[in-house]
Copies of this chain bind each other. A is one copy, B any other.
Amino acid sequence: MAESMVGIKRSHRCTEVTTANIGQDVTVMGWVQKSRNKGGIIFVDLRDRSGILQIIFEESDCGAENFAKAEKLRSEFVIAVTGRVEARSGAVNPNLATGAIEVRAKSMRVLSESETPPFPIEENSKTKEELRLKYRFLDLRRPDLQRNMMVRSRVATLTRAFLADEGFLEIETPTLIKSTPEGARDYLVPSRVHPGSFYALPQSPQLFKQLLMCSGYDRYFQIARCYRDEDLRADRQPEFTQIDMELSFVDVDEVLDVNERLLQKLFKEICDYDLPLPLPRMTWQEAMDRFGSDKPDLRFGMELQDVSDVVKGCEFAVFKNALENGGSVRGINAEGQGHMPRKKIDALVEYAKGFGAKGLAYVAINEDGSLKSSFAKFMTEEEMGALVAAMGGKPGDLLLFAADRNKVVYDVLGNLRLELARQLDLLKKDDFKFLWVTEFPLLEYSEEEGRFVAMHHPFTMPMDEDLQYIDSDPGRVRAKAYDIVLNGVEMGGGSVRIHQGDVQSKMFEVLGFTPERANDQFGFLLEAFKYGVPPHAGLAYGFDRMVMLMVGADSIRDVIAFPKVKDASCLMTEAPTPVDPAQLKELGIEVAETEEE
């Protein structure tokens, strides 16, 4: 049965007890990691969030009653122990912070017993994730998850302190807001007071932070919960956290500068990594041309080469058709992979097809300089020689080519490059390669919707020199938008915002909004724009992703205390659940009848 802790006080966390305390009495409390009786001495590894401390019970020290209790200890019992700190009698354990000491118990209380947990509490658990998520309260006891949560807390603390020092105000924006569907789906919240009306949960604080700039707050930040009702992919959660900021009276450079210094501080303090500033910048176009991606992983080379000019005269139909249809032919050189077996190359071709490629042309350069190629028969020897030369091909290299519309070529080779890097183990988790990607296209044409849509969002400022094309050639207009990319992951992004009512109206027009619809959805912003708006710009980080990268976790679920799984449910609480019909009635809504099919 549980004993009370009335009358005793903890003096130290487990690893706060050090050799400096030898000879002193301490009171420690925590969980039994393990307990064993060795020749009449009971050894207990006591665990708290700080780590492990060894306790020893001998009947001559602690008396018969305490010893009897100690004999019954099992894993995950919660105990309080008072005892004397001693130099360890047995072998010093160099793997433990407290490996040179132990506490000789004088008294002990069992604060809480435990059934046998459904899986052991240990690092790098082999238990399948579903079971661990069902018992998340136990999973969260594992030291690796505890370290992740502590890092997350520390990153938040450091970020807030840094931004406060830089003159940012932390301002909370509402989360029961108006639904302004554009982009992902909103989560909706029915209103009881206004039946038939709904709030939305925010996809981001975007509009409110812009209003705060209109209101003169100058520099705003918030570590804000955001919501997107998307079909969940591996690294998405229905609710996620952003480090969100907005600055007035700035252009691109000031935003990037303050964020580089923030990142430098965080990666120094958390990862002990010295980040040289300024961070490299690359335009979106250059990133696509060199890496086939707007979030290039710079931890390795294997850059894309445009060989369209080299192959433009050849008779290989795949290349010819791509070029005739306005596309391109590009390749990557997987250096030293010329020996790759046909079966593995075929697997790469299949992989490429997953990204829209019709196929993948390759040239393996044998060690003797001879070529093995899927398309040599359609090319002259000179053409092949020129192609290999253009790719910098050396004996032992493998050249892989895609020929298609540019978008497909980028996508195929960009992903192929990453797949090869994974296969070749080029992606080191403790290497941090940062990059700003800038000058994104303002708009992208959506075949699906038959109109231009905003690449970032409708409030992004066109580049001054491109504004002239917004009517005649909207696809050509670049935006004052930027992403911060780390190791191939988009960690954050933002833009300078439109602060002129007329430009904002033009933007809505280009996006196909009627003035009525623009007004219905964003009327309050357009209204605010009538009363003196400062130039402003901002940025938001995916906080979960940032912490994931810092701790080297494989999933954001490992840096979120109570994550949801792919179907947006919580395996521990079983949310979402049906609710009492009386609750729905009060809200004025009904569950729709399921149609029989």
Q: A: which residues have CB within 8 A of B?
A: 2, 4-6, 9-10, 13, 29-32, 47-49, 76-78, 80, 111-115, 117, 135-138, 140-141, 146, 149-150, 152-153, 156-157, 160-161, 164, 169-179, 181, 185-201, 208, 211-212, 214-218, 225, 227, 229, 238-239, 241, 248-249, 251, 254, 464, 499-500, 524, 527-528, 530-535, 560-562, 564, 567-570, 572-580, 583-592, 594
State A174–B571 Cα separation when bound (angstroms). 13
| Smallest Cβ-Cβ distance to A74: which chain B residue | B532
| Smallest Cβ-Cβ distance to A529: which chain B residue | B112
* The one of B77, B196, B579 that contacts A188, using a Cβ cutoff of 8 Å: B579
Whether the pair A594, B216 counts as a contact (CB closer than 8 A) is: no
Whether the pair B532, A112 counts as a contact (CB closer than 8 A) is: yes
Whether the pair B533, A195 counts as a contact (CB closer than 8 A) is: no
Whether the pair A176, B239 counts as a contact (CB closer than 8 A) is: yes
Whether the pair A561, B138 counts as a contact (CB closer than 8 A) is: no
State A343–B21 Cα separation when bound (angstroms). 73
Residue of A117, A254, A589 contacting most chain B CB atoms (<10 Å):
A589
| Smallest Cβ-Cβ distance to A150: which chain B residue | B169
* The one of B80, B140, B176, B187 that contacts A217, using a Cβ cutoff of 8 Å: B140
Contacting residues, chain B, for A169 (C-beta < 8 A):
149-150, 153
Task: Name 13 interchain pairs, CB-CB below 8 A, sorted by A.
Answer: A47-B216, A114-B532, A117-B531, A135-B527, A138-B215, A173-B561, A173-B562, A176-B187, A188-B583, A195-B594, A197-B576, A208-B561, A589-B589
Known contacts: A185-B586, A214-B137. The answer to whether A112 contacts B568 by CB under 8 A is: no
State A213–B276 Cα separation when bound (angstroms). 40
Contacting residues, chain B, for A197 (C-beta < 8 A):
576-579
State A208–B572 Cα separation when bound (angstroms). 11
Contacting residues, chain B, for A527 (C-beta < 8 A):
135
Whether the pair A194, B567 counts as a contact (CB closer than 8 A) is: yes
State A105–B554 Cα separation when bound (angstroms). 56
State A564–B531 Cα separation when bound (angstroms). 22
Contacting residues, chain B, for A214 (C-beta < 8 A):
137
Contacting residues, chain B, for A156 (C-beta < 8 A):
170
Known contacts: A169-B153, A225-B225, A588-B591. The answer to whether A568 contacts B249 by CB under 8 A is: no
| Smallest Cβ-Cβ distance to A534: which chain B residue | B78
A562 to chain B, nearest CB (A): 5
State A2–B199 Cα separation when bound (angstroms). 35
State A31–B589 Cα separation when bound (angstroms). 46
| Smallest Cβ-Cβ distance to A78: which chain B residue | B532
Whether the pair B76, A532 counts as a contact (CB closer than 8 A) is: yes
State A10–B254 Cα separation when bound (angstroms). 11
* The one of B153, B531, B578 that contacts A171, using a Cβ cutoff of 8 Å: B153
A515 to chain B, nearest CB (A): 18
Other A-B contacts than A76-B531, A152-B171, 7 sampled, CB-CB below 8 A, are A10-B249, A78-B533, A112-B534, A137-B524, A174-B562, A185-B192, A188-B583
Known contacts: A187-B189, A216-B47, A464-B4. The answer to whether A199 contacts B576 by CB under 8 A is: yes
State A216–B30 Cα separation when bound (angstroms). 8
Whether the pair B583, A176 counts as a contact (CB closer than 8 A) is: no
Contacting residues, chain B, for A179 (C-beta < 8 A):
575, 577, 579, 583
Known contacts: A153-B170, A588-B592. The answer to whether A113 contacts B532 by CB under 8 A is: yes
Contacting residues, chain B, for A177 (C-beta < 8 A):
570, 573, 575
Contacting residues, chain B, for A533 (C-beta < 8 A):
78, 112
Whether the pair A575, B531 counts as a contact (CB closer than 8 A) is: no
State A146–B220 Cα separation when bound (angstroms). 12
A253 to chain B, nearest CB (A): 9
A21 to chain B, nearest CB (A): 18
A97 to chain B, nearest CB (A): 16
| Smallest Cβ-Cβ distance to A161: which chain B residue | B161
Q: In the A-B complex, list the 5 residue pairs whose CB atoms are closest, starting with the nearest.
A: A140-B215, A114-B532, A178-B575, A197-B576, A76-B532
Whether the pair B573, A464 counts as a contact (CB closer than 8 A) is: no
State A201–B177 Cα separation when bound (angstroms). 14
Whether the pair A570, B178 counts as a contact (CB closer than 8 A) is: yes
| Smallest Cβ-Cβ distance to A13: which chain B residue | B218
State A456–B529 Cα separation when bound (angstroms). 46
Whether the pair B590, A590 counts as a contact (CB closer than 8 A) is: yes
Known contacts: A530-B114, A531-B76. The answer to whether A195 contacts B591 by CB under 8 A is: yes
Contacting residues, chain B, for A587 (C-beta < 8 A):
188
Contacting residues, chain B, for A115 (C-beta < 8 A):
530-531
| Smallest Cβ-Cβ distance to A227: which chain B residue | B176
* The one of B161, B164, B464, B528 that contacts A137, using a Cβ cutoff of 8 Å: B528
Contacting residues, chain B, for A178 (C-beta < 8 A):
570, 573-577
* The one of B5, B164, B198, B530 that contacts A249, using a Cβ cutoff of 8 Å: B5
Whether the pair B199, A532 counts as a contact (CB closer than 8 A) is: no
Whether the pair A112, B170 counts as a contact (CB closer than 8 A) is: no
Contacting residues, chain B, for A528 (C-beta < 8 A):
137-138
Whether the pair B149, A531 counts as a contact (CB closer than 8 A) is: no
Contacting residues, chain B, for A208 (C-beta < 8 A):
561-562
Known contacts: A29-B534, A153-B171. The answer to whether A146 contacts B217 by CB under 8 A is: yes
Residue of A78, A160, A186 contacting most chain B CB atoms (<10 Å):
A78
A190 to chain B, nearest CB (A): 7
Contacting residues, chain B, for A225 (C-beta < 8 A):
172, 175, 225
| Smallest Cβ-Cβ distance to A27: which chain B residue | B249
